[in-house]
Chains A and B, each alone.
Chain A
């Protein structure tokens, strides 16, 4: 026995190999904690940079929309309003479109090949950079909708949201381009969730004679609800933070207006526009606005993750 063993030189692990094993593990450990460090770094840096503005304007910053570097007066109300209104409107338009598309893809309405093509087209849409969508919005979408917006104004000018004369780029266009960007997110997450709903639930409904859409509305969608909600929230987070396409089409005006037909602002478009040239309190105020954006999107994201957990607990 002992003689044979001599053919195997590493039967005993020598120092080098043992050390490599330990170093490898610890390196991986350190690398994995980078995520936490970066996340913490982002929160701390943005928070401390916004401190000057925070101590000067306090919560008033959230409710005034004066933005005047000459007078050193800053308030982000218009941008916060724009962020909230564009993301909410766009998500509400996207929900029926995205979920409807997901239902179409997951049910067997059409031959499989057609559904697969639609599915992959929607996913490819997600791959188009937002700056390109912005370019397209400026040169194709805006001229196309000009006449329509004028009509909208003449019919509905009594509604505050359409109360202003349309002048080129505006918040409504930003909402529409956001719909294009959110559609793939909502569709693909809804599709995955719908696919995960157990077959036996559907069969149970068919078994008692429910029609197809009755089954979809009363059994399948409720079962998939928390998963779809998570997708919607992730998309909402995306909408709030989306920068390029919105900046290019929203018109970038800090003058507050209820109307979607007048130029608007969002926190991220404000950052994109002003960050490069700002100094002094303005920089700190921009960081303050960035901090608000970050908190908003963190909250939405964490809630979305909570829902994802709940959905996967239910069906696994």
Chain B
């Protein structure tokens, strides 16, 4: 009975996942269940493979030459690395927001409408654009200039536009790779508010280097770390060091390295 409930709750689960670029193994033997309707943050020192893991969740890694994955990534009970799976369909259900704001060189309106149209949206487009911009806390700032180029916005506004663009296609999961790293504190707070808002409808997985942010926004936290290869030629391989509810990870971590990392001793 309990097991059944757990089963129902998880939306993406990694089962013994290892990812390599060419012959260079970057992360190894990851087991992890991401919960539905939760915000999960991925933290860890630079280069331990957080972005790599995040990109593997909606097959963005397919675009990197010679990137390969072992193990299974289950989404809604389906292995998305199965041969029969269409990666484009996966990305329509699992959207992504990148570290650098990357609006299309089109108008603000078109930036949002483009994705919706691709996904065959049949509702009222104006309404969708407005709703998405409101959810991304950008509506008030740009409602009078929807026809302007996406590049005319500030960096923080651009990032919120990218979030709006992703919300507009209503994916089940939104992946965010350090979405606030290029932003000022005020824009960061706005985006965090946005995330709280979005939690009602979406599952969010976010990579962040900001401990406070992880503490503020997330329900669950996964701490990644990297160790030197056993054969010791200097290369490092990432692994999932500890995973649990955010309060537990931050207040009573099991691992010593976790404790050291979140208190700022390394990373």
B237 part of interface (Cβ distance < 8 Å): no
Interface residues on B, range: 10 to 19
Contact A8 B119 (CB under 8 A): yes
The number of chain A residues with a CB under 8 A from chain B is 12
B199 part of interface (Cβ distance < 8 Å): no
Contact B172 A13 (CB under 8 A): no
Number of inter-chain CB pairs below 8 Å: 36
Nearest CB in chain A: distance from B66 CB, A: 19
Cα(A143)–Cα(B246), bound, Å: 91
Contact B86 A18 (CB under 8 A): yes
Produce 1/0 per residue, B88-116, CB < 8 A to A. 11001100000000000000000000001
Contact A5 B170 (CB under 8 A): yes
Contact A13 B123 (CB under 8 A): no
The one of B89, B118, B121, B201 in contact with A7, judged by C-beta atoms closer than 8 angstroms, is B121
Tell me whether chain A's interface is mostly helix, strand or loop, or mixed. Answer: loop
Nearest CB in chain A: distance from B197 CB, A: 16
Produce 1/0 per residue, A1-40, CB < 8 A to B. 1001101111111000010010000000000000000000
Cα(A66)–Cα(B122), bound, Å: 79
A10-B86 contact in complex given A1-B172, A4-B170, A5-B170, C-beta closer than 8 Å: no
Given the complex, which residues of B lie within 8 Å of A5, measured CB to CB? 170
Looking at A1, A5, A7, the one whose CB has the most chain B CB atoms below 10 A away is A7
Contact B172 A10 (CB under 8 A): no
Given the complex, which residues of A lie within 8 Å of B92, measured CB to CB? 8, 10-11, 13
Nearest CB in chain A: distance from B192 CB, A: 24
Produce 1/0 per residue, B111-143, CB < 8 A to A. 000001011111100000000000000000000
B-binding residues in A (CB < 8 A): 1, 4-5, 7-13, 18, 21
Contacts A/B (CB < 8 Å), 21 sampled: A1-B201, A5-B170, A7-B121, A7-B122, A7-B170, A8-B116, A8-B119, A8-B122, A8-B170, A9-B119, A9-B120, A10-B92, A11-B89, A11-B92, A11-B93, A12-B89, A13-B86, A13-B88, A13-B92, A18-B86, A21-B88
Closest 7 A/B residue pairs (Cβ): A10-B120, A9-B120, A8-B119, A7-B123, A10-B119, A13-B89, A11-B92
